[in-house]
Amino acid sequence: MNLATFRALRHRDFRLLFFGQLVSMVGTWMQSIAQGWLVYRLTGQPAMLGIATFASLAPAFLLSPLGGVLADRLDPRRLAMLTQGGLLLQALLLAVPTLAGQVGIKFILLLALFMGVVNAFDLPAGRVLVTRTVPQEDLPNAIALVSTLFHGSRILGPSLAGLVVAAAGEGWCFLLNAFSYLAALGGLWAMRTPPFEKPPKGPSILSNLRESVLHVHRHRRLRRLFTLMGLVCLLAFPYITLLPAFARDVLRTDARGLGWLMGSGGAGATLGALILASRSDSRQVPRIMVGSTLILGVFLMLFAASRDLRVACLLILPVAVAMVLHNTANMTLVQLNLPDHLRGRVMALHGMVFLGAVPLGSLLAGLAAQRLGIPWTMVLGGAGCSLAALAHALLARRERTQAQ
């Protein structure tokens, strides 16, 4: 690893975006861990963890195409400031009744739905904004660094959440998250991106969405990338949803133990993102994506078999490394195969795959855990993930053979 790993940080606007989001994401992970612990403490049902995740992500799945169109038509910086303000409000509304000891599961689910709606517009705005803060040659590095930011915050955020929940309760995590959004808003306000040129009035939103869907459908490589992302999100990603129940009922630990578990995953995720950020040869990215998906499936099965917190913390490292390598490599390959005028819309569709498959997978995983148990649910997800990687590799080889 060398200075080239962080070359996108040479650009002032990207630095403001990066460090503002760094503070915000630590708070977001604190809220995520505290909310999962609170839901399981109130209900004691793994299925309810899946329902809460479904509630927070399903609206984003339904509305993200609209968010992508707006990210192409409106100033993404102003749109991001609006959505970050909405997320600040959501955290405050969750903090107040929790601190007062009067929060209920229905109110938590309602605010999770609200967060999902806001994220439907925040995610595509953020992705388009990255492309406006760096030149094209630094875009793959910027994407990898943003992934590093997202997952690196998992090291500190969950660890702090475990300490705060154990010492003062979940409500303080929600309140600290609300304050963390001020850093993101400050960074967005200070940016000096080029003046936004509103595109000329053209086709309707539905026509724009249809154009982006057809673009993905007509390109076999994009179809395969979207399909693999969907399968990995459906089968493997829901293990994160089940971690509060896995920590308490399988590993027999408390909120601090859950924080250590998530923090270890964050360390692995950060390492995975830095591995890609340090590579400048994009020709290696397809192999990295397939190999990491296979590793993800194998180590997820091993993680499911662990019964000791220290062993689980070690095994979650390669799981997290592989998950981030797959996710970042997949997103990078999609970005490199897109024309600029479709970038916001197609990346919104890519986000839809994630935001559709993860809540559906979390819901199914929660229900399966009620019947099969948490470990067996994770084992089945890991096995399916490895099979999906093998199928993707075989299809890619067949396409290359036919092209020769």
Asked whether 142 and 8 are in contact (CB, 8 A), the reply is yes
What was the pLDDT predicted at 199? 58
Task: Sort residue 15 into left (φ over 0), alpha (ψ -120 to 50) or beta.
Answer: alpha
Number of H helices, E strands in the chain: 14, 0
String of b and e for 84-111 (b: at least 16 CB within 10 Å)? Answer: bbbbbebbebbbebbbeeebeeeebbeb
CATH fold, domain 3-191+204-403, is Growth Hormone; Chain: A; (1.20.1250)
pLDDT band with cut points at 50, 70 and 90 for residue 384: very high
Tell me the H-state helices in 191-238: 205-218, 220-235
pTM greater than the 0.85 cutoff: no
pLDDT band with cut points at 50, 70 and 90 for residue 179: very high
d(CA 212, CA 216): 6
- Provide the percentage of residues in the chain whose pLDDT is more than 90: 30
Listed residue (100, 263, 257) closest to 172, CA to CA: 100
Predicted confidence (pLDDT) at residue 94 exceeds the cutoff of 90: yes
Listed residue (312, 26, 313) closest to 158, CA to CA: 26
Name the residue with tokens 């953020």: 126
What was the pLDDT predicted at 125? 83
Compute the average pLDDT of residues 312-331: 88
Compute the average pLDDT of residues 40-50: 89
- Give pLDDT tens digits for 102-157: 999 999 999 999 998 998 888 878 878 887 788 877 777 787 788 777 766 777 78
Predicted confidence (pLDDT) at residue 369 exceeds the cutoff of 80: yes
Compute the average pLDDT of residues 366-395: 91
Tell me the H-state helices in 309-342: 309-335
